[in-house]
Structure 1
Amino acid sequence: MTSSSVRRFPPVDAGNGVTRQVLADAPELMVVQFTFGEGARGARHNHPHVQSTFVQSGRFEFFIGDEVFEVGPGDSFVIPSLAFHGCRAIEPGVLIDCFTPRRDDFL
């Protein structure tokens, strides 16, 4: 890889107190950083992508289907394709999400 092949994406306002920044992407995979203010919400939704989430900082309440759980720094989990999910920031924090395949709607 050459430095000219490195793409830099600006942060964008994702709404509800959340900022989204694509960190890396390829057709098969995308890495995205989500920054949440206190009380910020990731609206409940679903998508065909498999998603893994790593909690870099903060505390979050997550909803996946009928399951509700709390996560903090160092926690990680997988959200299956088409699972209805969302979250709420209990404390300000950062989530690092990986999607397969890439979320073209984020580009």
Structure 2
Amino acid sequence: MIKHFPEVEADPGVKRQVLSDSPELMVVAFRFQAAGAEGKLHNHPHVQSTYVESGRFAFTVAGESFDVGPGDSFVIPSNAVHGCRCLEPGTLIDTFAPRRDDFLTPNP
């Protein structure tokens, strides 16, 4: 069964859209609209995998900084503090295990 989820603002200049989900796994697109937009530093208990569909990004994960571009991917361990800054507009495809239930409710 295919579900359609709305695109919501995650941070200024960043749109988030759930692409698919089950209790065990969730796939989410983050669309960064301009250089300088940020995914603020945060952490969560979910294991996260990030794939760079397009654009360029500077990431910090657990105190380590690195740049990524199209085709790059990496895993963020559970509870690791992480965030990114957009260097060139583009899209990140993130997977979360288990599902991020907080992404299923509208932002306040």
Q: What is aligned with 1:62? A: 59
Q: What is aligned with 1:25? A: 21
> SS at the partner of 1:48?
coil
Q: What is aligned with 1:36? A: 32
Q: What is aligned with 1:13? A: 9
| Whole-angstrom distance in 2 between the partners of 1:65 and 1:81 | 11
Give unmatched runs, 5+ long, in structure 1. none
Give me the TM-score of the superposition, normalised by structure 1: 0.94
| Whole-angstrom distance in 1 between the partners of 2:22 and 2:63 | 32
Could you report, residue by residue, the CA deviation over 1:38-59 in whole angstroms, capped at 9, with x for unpaired residues? 2110010000000000000000
Q: Write the letter of the residue equivalent to 1:71.
A: V
1:16, distance to aligned residue in structure 2 (A)? 2.1
Identical aligned residues as a percent? 67
Give 2:83's match in structure 1, choosing from 75, 81, 86: 86
> SS at the partner of 1:106?
helix
Q: Name the count of aligned residue pairs.
A: 103
> SS at the partner of 1:19?
strand
> SS at the partner of 1:23?
strand
Give me the TM-score of the superposition, normalised by structure 2: 0.94
Q: Write the letter of the residue equivalent to 2:70.
A: P
> SS at the partner of 1:99?
strand
| Whole-angstrom distance in 2 between the partners of 1:86 and 1:68 | 10
Q: Which moved more, 1:46-55 or 1:11-20?
A: 11-20
Give 1:103's match in structure 2, choosing from 91, 100, 103: 100
Runs (4+) off by over 4 Å: none
Give unmatched runs, 5+ long, in structure 2. none
* Greater Rg over alpha carbons, structure: 1
* RMSD between aligned residues: 0.6
